[in-house]
Every structure is written in structure tokens, then in C-alpha cells.
Amino acid sequence: MVWIKQHSAAQSIELTVHGDLEWLPQEAIIFNQSLGNSLIKVNLAPESRMIGWDGIVFGRTASGETFSSGHFSQSICLSFEGQLEWEERLSLSGVDPAQDSAVGLAGNPAVSTLWAVLREGDQWAEEEQNEIRRQCPELAWTALSSRLLVGRQRGMSRALQQARLKAWTILRPRVMNRPALSLRIWAT
């Protein structure tokens, strides 16, 4: 999704999952002077498992554009059987000090969030979490519940994309019980 310069845009995605879902969209580019709002809500049944990610790039970095004016907000909500398990919120304006703050973007133009959910009854063992952290140290990993593992990263767009793909190859065999074969859509 691309947010159009000097226009406002909104996106609302609500998914109910009774099986397996890999939600792997292209990153959104937030143009300078954009006013955007994004909401992603996912409700998972007990038998569900999921790998999802979201990437945001502030400004058209390849053109030298920064996000110095405008506002973007996003919420990612994950529920288990209708009960909110995790909510990630982002609200950033073009003049926000968080763009350069060490606890914010630290001068980086892009952010990425990745999450992996196991079926009810399965859990992320401490050894597994440590192995994922060792194999994919580019993301900061947090186990938010026995079923939910979240990784976050800030940096340059291309590096974030490569880190998400690397994490997916590590997570997919464990979460989906499938080999991590390159998806055809990524070749277009």
C-alpha cells in the first residue's frame, strides 16, 4: 500500500482465522505530508496458527524524501477467540521527536514487526526462543504469551525486508510444519 502525498487514507483489515495463515504483505510507504491510519485486526481460533508481519517505510527514501510533515497511525490487534492478546500501536507525525530518539526510530526510516502464533496447547520453549534470537539477532524478540512470539526492528527498508525473510525461513518449519520454500509472489 502506498499513501498518497497530501491526501488522507485509511485501511482497515479484519481477519477471522480457523486454520493456518501467513500474512506477509509488502511494506507500506508513507509519503511526506500523508495523513494515514491503518488498523489490522486478527482473531484466531484455538486450532489456528499464524506467521504475520508488517513493514512501514517513512518517506520515499530512494528519492531522498523524508517524512517531515504529516501523520501516520497504526494498530495491530491479535485476539485469541475474541479475547485481545496483543495490541501494537504506532502514532508518528513528521515533526515527532521519536523519529530521532533512541527509544523511537533513532533516525531510521523504516520499522518492521513480525509475529508467530502456535496452536492452542503448543508453546514457545525458552530454548526455542533463544535459538531464534541467536539465528535472527536483527530483530528484538519477545514472547508475549506461551503461543505468541513477536520480533521488532528498525532500520533501512531493504535490511528489514531481508531480516523478515530470514526470520520467516526459521519460523515457518516450526509454526506451520512446512518447509521454508521461497514463495512465488516474492519473485514478481
What's the domain range around 136?
A: 2-176
At 112 the three-state DSSP class reads strand
Is residue 33 a part of any domain in this protein? Answer: yes
What pLDDT band is residue 3 in, cutting at 50, 70 and 90? very low
| Whether residue 10 has pLDDT greater than 90 | no
Is residue 187 a part of any domain in this protein? Answer: no
| Whether residue 85 has pLDDT greater than 60 | yes
**What is the mean predicted confidence (pLDDT) over 73-89?**
97
Question: Which residues make Cβ contacts (< 8 Å) with residue 128, sequence separation at least 6?
Answer: 174
| Cβ(113)–Cβ(106) below 8 Å | no
| Whether residue 62 has pLDDT greater than 90 | no
What's the pLDDT at 49?
98
| Whether residue 148 has pLDDT greater than 80 | yes
**What is the mean predicted confidence (pLDDT) over 16-38?**
94
Is residue 136 a part of any domain in this protein? Answer: yes
What pLDDT band is residue 67 in, cutting at 50, 70 and 90? very high
Is residue 163 a part of any domain in this protein? Answer: yes
Domains held by the chain: number = 1
C-alpha atoms less than 13 angstroms from C-alpha of 170 in its C-beta half-sphere: 23
In whole angstroms, what is the distance from residue 75 CA to residue 90 CA? 7
| Whether residue 185 has pLDDT greater than 70 | no
pLDDT in tens, 12-25: 999 999 999 999 99
Phi first, then psi: give them for residue 61, nearest 5 degrees: -65, -35
Phi first, then psi: give them for residue 165, nearest 5 degrees: -65, -40
> What share of the chain has pLDDT > 70, as a percent?
94
| Whether residue 66 has pLDDT greater than 70 | yes
Is residue 183 a part of any domain in this protein? Answer: no
Q: What nine digits make up the cell of 86?
A: 496483543
Is residue 186 a part of any domain in this protein? Answer: no
Is residue 188 a part of any domain in this protein? Answer: no
At 134 the three-state DSSP class reads helix
Angle at 144 between CA 139 and CA 149, to 5 degrees: 45
What's the pLDDT at 174?
96
Least confident of 4-13, 73-82, 119-128, 163-172: 4-13
Is residue 184 a part of any domain in this protein? Answer: no
pLDDT in tens, 99-116: 999 999 999 999 999 999
**What is the mean predicted confidence (pLDDT) over 140-165?**
95
Least confident of 3-7, 55-59, 83-87, 127-131: 3-7
